[in-house]
Chains A and B, each alone.
Chain A
Amino acid sequence: MGWELFYHEADEGIRGEGKTLSEAFEQAAIALTAVVTEPDLVIPRIPVPIEVSDDDPELLFLAFLNAIIFEMAVRRMLFHHINITIDGPELRGTAYGELVDIDRHQPAVEVKGATATELFVGQKSGRWRAQCVVDV
């Protein structure tokens, strides 16, 4: 598994790792879903385009997470996984998920936004890592 939640006293830390920057971002997006529900409970039946840009890889990561959080909020959706490509400052991709099903997903909490706390995008031990704390 290339994602995990890490400790924060009041909120949640999310972390993704992978062989590429894109993969680390994609894995972190699954961790974002895990803050709300078990990702395996989400069926990837509806595609939603995601597109953001920023010259700074860390701010690009925050913009990416915030774009997903926005789509979750306005579409009342949860996402199973996301496929993206990153080309310089440009990130494009598609998130796959479904409408919130209270009984099946038992969603614990809304994610309000991605914070710069514990924000890191870069390489650790030869693997790409993307992480931050999200406010819930």
Chain B
Amino acid sequence: MDLSRLIQRSEFEWELPQKGNMRVPGVLYASRALVEAMDEKVYQQVRNVATLPGIVGASYVMPDAHWGYGFPIGGVAAFDPEQGGVVSAGGVGFDISCGVRLLHTGLTIEQVRPILPDLMDALFNTIPAGVGSVGQIHLSDLRMSEMLRGGAWWAVEQGWGLAEDLDHIEEHGRMAGAMPEHVSHHARRRQADEMGTLGSGNHYLELQQVTDLYDTDTANRFGLKPGEVVISIHCGSRGLGHQIGTEFLLEMVKAAKTAGIALVDRELACAPAQSEVGQRYLGAMRAATNCALANREIITHLTRQTFAEMVSEAALTLLYDVSHNTCKEEIHTVQGRARKLLVHRKGATRAFGPGNAELPQEFRDSGQPVLIGGSMGTASYVLAGLAENEDKSFGSACHGSGRAMSRRHARQLWQGRKLVDDLRGQGIHVRSPSMRGVAEEAPGAYKDVDRVVESAEMAGLARRVARLRPLGVVKG
């Protein structure tokens, strides 16, 4: 990205000035090097988002931002429904409520290392992953509606989860306002065999070792210790969310026109939040969020079963579950006035700081855990939310390292089998049904997660708590 069009506000904050049909400025949080490396399309997409009706504050960009569709991946925008603000299917994306959860194991690296290859084999055999995979749970229409209302609560009620997990999930495990009646027959069909499946692409289950602590006090509160083995699970709302995104994106292209909204890019597809289409989308999108929460809870259940069979000393407890493709109704103070806003985070994580009433009691003093996924061969991070971020990006942070090259380019540079062998040489055991998929997800195809997280901390979006090194990966 050409920096000459930006105003540098601080070392890690850049303003894209409001001009033309922009209603607000753009704000990018990243180091000079990361902003320079961003695609020119990110610049255009930040500007485009700033033209949407009812946007509040600015069109924000997180340090891992890259070219998305409509909104940039790593984009955050809030809209005020009372001021004609919109809700945008393009601003949430296809994989509604895709997210990450982190589980403690109660095990040390010394306990896990001898059994790591067998453990990875067992996890790979237990958790359906990859294109065409199906789960063991098949839902009738009635039960699917119950799942879409209940989220992780429903999974726990069915015996596929633990009640103590629920308070450690955003929305306390169940998104209010879900309207399963607005989830189409097609979306339900796509989900019929996909409960408890990991998916493909950048989705994974990863065993990790805590290697570094940056904030010992918060790490203690989060229960993270050096040498502990933890588990990250990254996946979303599977086919149901994809289909809802697909259907509403096309419907909102037309709805925007009907509402007199001139879209500079059709991918910004949106509707006034208070319109019939807007309300219907919010109901369906919230149902898809519950699908994602239930799905991660079920995968956690399968993971617990596997560990119980392999390592009797293991105790898998949930640190936290965050979603990073969302639209949430939140109350934020803007220029001294509390306003109810629809905050879109597309490839961005909620990062609420200390004192936020949305957080469970145990995180009220520390801020919420913010989980940042890496790639197969690179680190992941646990951060904590900061109260002052409320004024920076409505309490948001990055979600991963962000891709740095296309899948095709990655395929040309790496071979899946060789990559798996090389990673094994580094002590990282990869299990995947597709070597082509592994090549496309090569660690080198992503930005340097260390630099991304450093930017997030330096920009005041969240503070580093712990660094995690991969030990084993089940890749879809």
Flag if B200 contacts A110 (CB, 8 Å).
yes
Residue ID in chain B nearest A102 by CB atoms: B433
B:56-70 near A, CB below 8 Å: 66-70
The segment out of A2-10, A17-25, A42-50, A82-90 that lies at the interface is A2-10
Flag if A59 contacts B201 (CB, 8 Å).
no
Partner of B246, one of A59, A66, A76: A66
B:134-191 near A, CB below 8 Å: 134, 186, 189-190
Residue ID in chain B nearest A107 by CB atoms: B131
Give Cα distance in the complex from A11 to B90, angstroms. Answer: 15
The interface residues of chain A lying within 8 Å CB-to-CB of B279 are: none
Give Cα distance in the complex from A69 to B407, angstroms. Answer: 19
B381 within 8 A of A: no
Flag if B406 contacts A12 (CB, 8 Å).
yes
The interface residues of chain A lying within 8 Å CB-to-CB of B67 are: 8-10
Flag if B131 contacts A109 (CB, 8 Å).
yes
Given known pairs A37-B436, A110-B201, the reply for A115 and B249 (CB within 8 Å) is: yes
Flag if A10 contacts B66 (CB, 8 Å).
yes
Q: Interface size for chain B: under 10, 10 to 19, 20 to 34, or 35 or more residues? A: 35 or more
A62 within 8 A of B: yes
Flag if A109 contacts B201 (CB, 8 Å).
yes
How far does the Cβ of A77 sit from chain B's closest Cβ, in whole Å?
A: 8
The segment out of B264-272, B303-311, B348-356, B390-398 that lies at the interface is B264-272
Q: Interface size for chain A: under 10, 10 to 19, 20 to 34, or 35 or more residues? A: 35 or more
Flag if A9 contacts B132 (CB, 8 Å).
no
Flag if B436 contacts A10 (CB, 8 Å).
no
Convert A118-136 into 0s and 1s, putting 1 for each residue whose CB lies closer than 8 angstroms to a CB of B: 0100000000000001011
Selected A-B contacts with CB under 8 Å, 30 pairs: A7-B406, A7-B408, A7-B409, A8-B406, A9-B404, A10-B73, A10-B403, A11-B407, A69-B246, A70-B186, A73-B190, A74-B239, A102-B132, A105-B131, A107-B200, A107-B436, A108-B437, A109-B200, A112-B242, A112-B245, A112-B246, A113-B243, A113-B246, A116-B253, A116-B267, A117-B70, A119-B266, A133-B69, A135-B93, A135-B95
Q: Report B's interface with A, CB cutoff 8 A.
A: 39, 41, 66-70, 73, 90, 93-95, 130-132, 134, 186, 189-190, 192, 199-201, 239, 242-243, 245-246, 249-250, 253, 265-267, 269, 403-409, 411, 433-437, 439-440
